[in-house]
Amino acid sequence: EERATVDTVLISHWHHDHTGGIADVLSTAPDAAIYKYDPEPGHKGIVDGQKFHVDGINLTAVHTPGHTKDHMVFVLAEEDAMFTADNVLGQGTAVFEDMSEYLRSLHQMRQLFSGRAYPGHGPLVEDGPGKITEYIEHRQQRVDQVLQTMRGSNDGIDAGGTRWSAMDLVKIIYSDVPDALHPAACNGVLQILEKLASDGIVIKHDRDLWQ
């Protein structure tokens, strides 16, 4: 009805739910240019800070690794808004590959706009920076829970010498969550432990034990 044409497609990251429709787009618009950070053969690359202009709309691409290494968000100048892709969702929290990178990206994203966030999943968020602040605070809360558990300050017992597996920590921190969801939570706890190890706060031992 709109007689719209597609000449540019911006891909936020490599996950199939964000790339799986490329073939269908190209079947309808075979001359469309596909842009992505670290692109596939035949596609065009995106660099941090690259600008795109379409019918009076101005987008700036920003490399924000965390959810994935190649993750990009796009700042919409006309609305002072951001397409946050999968680093920030419309509901719930996001998964990530590297927590240190993810937190750096969240802090960076929060400074780049003051309006809405258009996420890759879920409803739009009216206060985008506010939602990002919630994400940062939530992650810090989880870090604090891991450290508190490892130090034993919940019950007054000094557990500083105990060696923990990620699942040991999950069973305490996520005790109110069904066991079936513990493996998914374990990945997030592992990311926290890796960050704490890189910060010199915890030590990683053999057999994936942490102290």
For residue 152, the domain's CATH number is: 1.10.10.10
Task: Please say if 127 is a catalytic residue.
Answer: no
- Read off the amino acid at residue 91: Q
Domain containing 35: what range? 8-137
Give the domain CATH number at 42. 3.60.15.10
Count of C-beta atoms within a 10 Å radius of residue 185: 18
pTM score of the predicted model: 0.87
Domain boundary among 137, 160, 187: 137
How many separate domains does the chain show?
2
- Cβ contact 72:85 at 8 Å: yes
Choice among 7, 17, 70, 179 that is catalytic: 17
Whether 54 and 127 share a structural domain: yes
| Domain finish residue from 137, 152, 180 | 137
Domain end (from 122, 137, 152): 137
3, part of any domain: no
One pLDDT digit (tens) per residue for the chain, 211 residues: 778 889 999 999 999 999 999 999 999 999 999 999 999 999 999 999 999 998 889 999 999 999 999 999 999 999 999 999 999 999 998 989 999 999 999 999 999 999 999 999 999 999 999 999 999 999 999 999 999 999 985 555 556 678 999 999 999 999 999 999 999 899 889 999 999 999 999 999 988 899 9
Residue 83 lies in a domain: yes
Contacts for 63 with CB less than 8 Å, ≥ 6 apart: 37, 46, 47, 48, 71, 72
